[in-house]
Amino acid sequence: MTQSDIHSSAAVHHPPPSRLGVIDWVALILLIVGALNWGLIGAIGVDLVAALFGNGTLATRAVYLLVGLAALYGFVMMARLGREPGY
């Protein structure tokens, strides 16, 4: 057995990290939308979601709810990706 055989057999091979799925991407996009909206509120006092869909409307509340759910899902995604080698 050569020196290179010893090193190659001792190497631990990890599977490549899984790619982000559709739900992951949707959650990331919603998180970005929410963060940008909060950035606009903080910087210039404009709530873009409310400006687009109306203040307190069902559509505005739905967007806020989806962003909040995406944030909760972000914790799940973060834990999942944190367990995978390569991240």
pLDDT digits (tens, 9 = 90+) for 49-87: 999 999 999 999 999 999 999 999 999 999 988 887 665
Classified as helix, coil or strand, 11 is: coil
* 55 neighbors 18 (Cβ within 8 angstroms): no
In a domain, 75, yes or no: yes
Q: Which domain holds residue 51?
A: 15-83
- Token pair for residue 36? 């940008």
pLDDT digits (tens, 9 = 90+) for 18-28: 678 999 999 99
| Domains contained in the chain, number | 1
**Does the pTM exceed 0.75?**
no
In a domain, 28, yes or no: yes
In a domain, 9, yes or no: no
With vertex at residue 9, the alpha carbon angle to CA 3 and CA 14, rounded to the nearest 5 degrees, is: 135
Whole-angstrom Cα distance, residue 84 to residue 78?
Answer: 10
In a domain, 8, yes or no: no
Mention every residue, 6+ apart, whose C-beta is less than 8 A from residue 69: 30
In a domain, 1, yes or no: no
